[in-house]
Structure 1
Amino acid sequence: MKATDLPLLKSVSAPTIDPTGARAVVAVTRPNLDADAYVGQLWSIATDGSTPPRRITRGMNDSAPRFSPDGALIGFLRREGDSPAQVYVMPAGGGEPVQVTDAPLGVGSFRWSPGSTRIAFVARVPEEGRYGTVKELGAGAEPPRHLTALKYRANGVGYISDRRNHVFLVDVPDPSEEPVYSPAPSAADPSPEMPKSVPEATHVTSGDFDHGPIEFSPDGTRLALVAARHATRDDDLVKNVFELDLTHPDAPLRDLTSVEDHLSVDALAYLPDGGLYLLASDIGEEGRDFVGRLGGLYRLGVGERPVRLTDPETVDLGEAGSSIVVLPDGSALVQKVTRGRLELHSVSPEGELAPVAAWDAEITGHAHAAGVTVVSFTAPETAGDVAVLRDGGSVVLTNFSAELLVAGIAPAIELEFEARDGYPLHGWLVLPRGEGPHPVLLNIHGGPFAQYTVSVFDEAQVYADAGYAVLMSNPRGSAGYGEAHGRSIRQAMGTLDMTDVLDFLEGALERHPELDDDRVGIMGGSYGGYLTAWTIAHDHRFAAAVVERGFLDPEAFVGTSDIGMYFGDEYTGVDPELVRKQSPQAVVDRVTTPTFVVHSEEDLRCPLPQAERYYAALKRQGTDAELLIFPGEDHELSRSGRPRHRVQRFDAILRWWARHLPVTRAIPTEVAHAADPA
């Protein structure tokens, strides 16, 4: 695929399934270059495959569908233009959607009550005088922010201390009722009051805290939610579970977990007996030790402390999955991260783990009703599709990536080697067309507790289409290989992880003669930007490098990054000398490799000064370097930035490689002109 094929990457939401199990609904979203936005609608899918999938909404960006428990309605989020997302409901059989919420900053997530009559939703509440609450008062004219906490910003959001996430309840309107009409003015009433067309929501949480996710109890009388409301919340990563008694709205939230449980909770689901399943990580007595910790399933019995059901050293049910479906027998369906895959497993109330769906894919969402289990997934041949699990296997029900397959997907070859110390290395090679020898791009993922996977990856595909062989490995520090693997670089960044990626490169060059070992480049983003910058200070074999949105200066990270108050402390430590021993900025004077620094102006995860200081040092010492800054983008540019910016980013990176690592040893005239900065 080419950069301009980005609109062919159709992503599929987690499915929702009607109570009979006969029909699933998903949102299908894609980049649109004409609109320079992400567009998508809801699709209905017969689980028996008897009829083709069909589009059932026509909004610009419809997402997060959920059947009401009685199956009569479908709720979803709709975003139109620059307006924030709101909850809409529509008859399950089809019809005009009706708007349910009118949250000033939009709705983040929602849940149906068991009786299908109410919806609970989470929305940011703007402080009065900010974010448009005062007409014609621009952001630059707002009063100053007086901050007393360390956690006050979030990448992709901005300031959060003056727009906390709170929980609301709203009655669901009947979509069959007659619409509300705007009254016309008259002589007697020249300015008639406009009737509300959206029901009034009730605010059910308060305070200077963020709340969510949320879940209704089976009888609908209680609402469980996740929040950090404890006194030390500014110094740790603990997120606890609370319960709200909906029959007594004035009753205080009841704590179901405590700081002493040392948990960071990401998802929850009620059991039939009123207990809860939690997806959570144990982050240690200090409440900050998150490095390489595996997410696990916990059972929280009524009046009991949470008990971990899955092994903390080998079973990872962490961030990539973050969803729980409770089956009638009380077991839970969860997603397990393992070796570049995301599998569906069941966990019994006693903690017995069993695979339900495991193939070369990532199960990105799942739903179950009336004995039918439906999953959304990505795989080597699709950016997103839907399958039903049947007779011990899976039957694919959709073909949303058909156009992508026509455009062309280069297959990924799975590789395994041994590191210099005998440790097993795992990853993939994507080869371009032709016999070679091909120039090689060593691509390093972010995280570091993340993983390259079996699924189609736009980065590798675009570079392979341009003629580059792309190497992607999961060195020590990555997710998917157990806790010891993930924690092995804690306060030792740039050690085993650097030698692992270099040993993976050496193994691939030795095994695959179609790779040109004289023409190798290195690149990566976020932590991948870190390890790229670190590696080129210690190994000078590379023709050029791309350092993108990098964690480059641990000392300057504190106080500027939204995660600065804990990330560097845990990954590089707090001893100044130890930190400098792991800092790319501290060894930038050793870099001779031509380096392209790419960053986003509104990146709050790895703030722009990380790139600017690194780039300035390169230029001042005479190293060939360039800096590319994207306006209006944050840390997620390469994944969810404006579609045109994503294409422009690919174009700029390919021009850099055409200049420093041409596909042929003699750069064609037209490519040379395209690479000319003028």
Structure 2
Amino acid sequence: MQATRNIKSDDLFKLKSVADPQLAANGKDLIYVETLISEEKNDYVSNLFYINVTEKSKAVQWTFGEHRNHSPRWSPNGQQIAFVSNRSGKNQIYVLNNNGGEAQPITNCVNGASNPVWSPDGTKLAFNVSLGKEEDLYSKEEKKDEKNKKLTPLEVDKMKYKSDAVGFYNGKFKQVAIVDLVSGEMELLTEGESDYHLQSWSPDGRHLAVTADLSEDLDFSFLNDLYLLDVQTKQLQKITNGTGYFGNATWSPNGKYIGLIGHEREFANATLSKIWVFDVEENELKCLTSDSELLVGDFAIGDFQQGTVSPGLLWSEDNNSFYFLATDHGNTVVYYGALSGELYPALLDQQHVYGLTTGGNVNTAVVAVSKPTLPGELFLLDVPTGDLQQLTFTNEAFTKEVKLAGVEEIEFKSKDDWDLHGWLMKPANYQEGEKYPLILEIHGGPHAMYANTYFHEFQTLAAQGYAVLFINPRGSHGYGQKFVDAVRGDYGGRDYADLMEAVDYVLENFDFIDESRLGVTGGSYGGFMTNWIVGHTNRFKAAVTQRSISNWISFYGVSDIGYYFNEWQIKAELEDIETLWKHSPLKYVNEVETPLLILHSEKDYRCPIEQAEQLYIALKHRKKETKFVRFPESNHELSRSGKPNLRIDRLNYIANWFNEYIK
């Protein structure tokens, strides 16, 4: 089937995200989550699908309806699936037998339930629940008359009182509870004014691994420690020593070891995550990758996948070896590790592995893979040979219908002799001998990584006739500790130079790019950098800044990370106004000559909208060419998981602005 048309922004409604694969211990039964976007509901719909991987059977849908069904987890004997669904109006945990029948609700908590974890004998489930001071597991929800709802003030006595993910602090804390599947009785295991994050259940059934920050002053603490929670006594045993941030705790099958992913914050939030193992019998914690530059986990940036899950260390039956995801030089890959410190790649290719499951097997894994022209599918990996066999073909019909632009990898030396890496995407209808405009895309973070993955925004721009350049400037993950740390204290310095030198490189090496028709865009840190660029060069004909930062002085205190992010990243506190202002794009507003479109979400608490308001008014006050677009009821994640119609509006605003000023 020949591709018949270019991709459009509203093709989001035709694409489906395939994520969170879970392979049963028998190595053959696979459950996963498929998410689509309902145009009618203007919302996301997720359901569970099953595949027998040994037979390579066709996927069979196991849940139905227009709800969000997700987080499937196999029971130890492989006969049941626990999952989370909002079919009742709130997220609750359900159990479904693998031989069919209706899913049965297991929880009915006032604020919902999440994160199901099976007990080793399969008779209980542990889960997370959010509770306020006067609430318990059996609290009944009061019916609210929204029309006559009485407004009340929000009392604030802490600095961490809002979050871009959940909004304003509501007096609730995340607790751990268990439910008996036979009797239906629920029991709360933690309490107090701290959040407890459930990780896993010990093979002997005696302990739950949980993480929490139990510091007295949480406003000044940025830790996450591992604790063992005794299921009977509810006592906590602290495993890590309050020096860093740890999570993804998984037990070896014999219960002797606990694998962790974390770091000790040596470089604040720019520190590479490493592999740690706690020896339960010896009461000893050891870092297995202390001398490695490998970044453990998936830190790739994308705008399509829904419900991806970090698997942590996946132990094998031998209690000695394990598999994990790692971020490396523009790819995420599967690695094999062992207690001896042995590390080597089990799947190393030009791709983004955003899901991994083994069921505890040594030689077999299922991976979720995306590439620039592959939105995302599941593959069966034969570990010894590295062979991949495709299991799902969810987006095959779509990818045959539309023209997707491929990428060419680029590598070059910066002027100060650093290795830089990125990609150039040709226009979808590229023809030899033609000249095309170029859009420079800049990722957020800044500690993230562009990767060999599907990016809907890039594809829609390529379909409009643009070449798209995206690179990982210093500050990006995937290239070692020195590289990722280099941006701290130097925003607008060598990171800016890296991006400009990337533009110079492609202009020198690709003759199809029209140097007189250049555009630039980016979000979050990429929005900051877009603002910085237009205040320092006029080489771009148009720019679009998204969810950006323009003023580090006013950023202090208004962001959910603002009171510490300045210190970590700009290396300046509020008293150092001179340094904060030096790194603020707003300082250079008089130099802006590039037409600038400003896109921002009303409820962005990460980069609050006042940052966009200041920039817009400053530009208009100086008679600069600009437009300001505010997206209602949206937060910092608009481009990735916001309301679908607004995501499409955003893509159209970007393309239309460039079409007006560049084409």
Report the TM-score when normalising by structure 2.
Answer: 0.91
- Find out whether 1:530 has 2:512 as its counterpart: no
2:592 and 2:140 map into 1 onto residues whose CA distance is 47
Aligned to 1:448: 446
Among candidates 231, 235, 257, match of residue 252 of structure 1: 235
Gaps of 5+ in 2: 1-6, 300-309
- Find out whether 1:346 has 2:336 as its counterpart: yes
Percent identity reads 30
Q: CA deviation at 1:468?
A: 1.0
1:245 and 1:266 map into 2 onto residues whose CA distance is 18
1:370-407 deviation per Cα after TM superposition (whole angstroms, max 9, x unaligned): 44321222223322211111233221211122133122
Q: CA deviation at 1:133?
A: 5.0
Q: Report runs of 4+ in structure 1 exceeding 6 Å deviation.
A: 129-132
2:145 and 2:190 map into 1 onto residues whose CA distance is 27
1:64-100 deviation per Cα after TM superposition (whole angstroms, max 9, x unaligned): 111111111011111238x232211101122211111
- Find out whether 1:397 has 2:391 as its counterpart: yes
Q: Secondary structure of the equivalent of 1:13? A: strand
Aligned to 1:420: 415
Compare 116-125 and 478-487 and name the one that shifted more. Answer: 116-125
- Find out whether 1:158 has 2:167 as its counterpart: yes
Among candidates 359, 365, 370, match of residue 355 of structure 2: 365
Aligned residue pairs, count: 629
Compare 161-170 and 599-608 and name the one that shifted more. Answer: 161-170
Q: CA deviation at 1:39?
A: 1.1
Among candidates 215, 218, 230, match of residue 230 of structure 1: 215
1:349 and 1:620 map into 2 onto residues whose CA distance is 62
1:347 and 1:50 map into 2 onto residues whose CA distance is 28
Q: CA deviation at 1:49?
A: 4.1
Which aligned pairs between 1:620-635 and structure 2 lie closer than 5 A?
A: 620-635=621-636
Gaps of 5+ in 1: 175-198, 663-678
1:301-347 deviation per Cα after TM superposition (whole angstroms, max 9, x unaligned): 22534221114651101463462211112222111101111111121
1:557-601 deviation per Cα after TM superposition (whole angstroms, max 9, x unaligned): 221111113212110022322222211122222212111110001
Q: Secondary structure of the equivalent of 1:306? A: strand
Which aligned pairs between 1:107-506 and structure 2 lie closer than 5 A?
A: 107-126=113-132, 134-136=142-144, 141=150, 143-160=152-169, 162-172=171-181, 199-248=184-233, 251-259=234-242, 262-271=243-252, 272-284=254-266, 289-302=267-280, 304-311=283-290, 314-318=293-297, 320=299, 321=310, 323-329=312-318, 330-369=320-359, 370-371=361-362, 372-390=364-382, 391-406=385-400, 407-432=402-427, 433-435=429-431, 436-506=434-504
- Matched-pair contact (CA < 8 Å) for 2:272–2:296: yes
Compare 423-432 and 98-107 and name the one that shifted more. Answer: 98-107
1:10-62 deviation per Cα after TM superposition (whole angstroms, max 9, x unaligned): 22222111221112110011222222011121111121244212212113221
- Paired AA for residue 21 in structure 1: G
- Matched-pair contact (CA < 8 Å) for 2:119–2:201: yes
1:361 and 1:213 map into 2 onto residues whose CA distance is 31
Report the TM-score when normalising by structure 1.
Answer: 0.89
Which aligned pairs between 1:491-570 and structure 2 lie closer than 5 A?
A: 491-570=489-568
Q: Secondary structure of the equivalent of 2:218? A: coil
Which aligned pairs between 1:22-33 and structure 2 lie closer than 5 A?
A: 22-33=28-39
Among candidates 43, 57, 60, match of residue 54 of structure 1: 60
Among candidates 60, 68, 71, match of residue 64 of structure 1: 71
Q: Secondary structure of the equivalent of 2:656? A: helix
Instruction: Report the RMSD for the aligned CA atoms in angstroms.
Output: 2.1
- Find out whether 1:643 has 2:644 as its counterpart: yes
Q: CA deviation at 1:150?
A: 1.3
Distance change in 2, residues 1:62/1:656 (3 Å): same
- Paired AA for residue 286 in structure 2: V
Q: Secondary structure of the equivalent of 1:493? A: coil
Distance change in 2, residues 1:319/1:554 (3 Å): farther
Q: CA deviation at 1:102?
A: 2.0
- Matched-pair contact (CA < 8 Å) for 2:176–2:198: no
- Paired AA for residue 395 in structure 1: Q
Q: Secondary structure of the equivalent of 2:650? A: helix
1:653 and 1:416 map into 2 onto residues whose CA distance is 28
Q: CA deviation at 1:291?
A: 3.6
2:59 and 2:200 map into 1 onto residues whose CA distance is 30
1:416 and 1:525 map into 2 onto residues whose CA distance is 24
Q: CA deviation at 1:630?
A: 0.6
Q: Secondary structure of the equivalent of 1:119? A: strand
- Matched-pair contact (CA < 8 Å) for 1:155–1:634: yes
- Paired AA for residue 481 in structure 2: E
Q: CA deviation at 1:161?
A: 5.4
Q: Secondary structure of the equivalent of 2:268? A: coil
1:381 and 1:49 map into 2 onto residues whose CA distance is 27
Aligned to 2:15: 9
1:635 and 1:466 map into 2 onto residues whose CA distance is 26
1:163-199 deviation per Cα after TM superposition (whole angstroms, max 9, x unaligned): 211111112259xxxxxxxxxxxxxxxxxxxxxxxx4
- Paired AA for residue 460 in structure 1: F
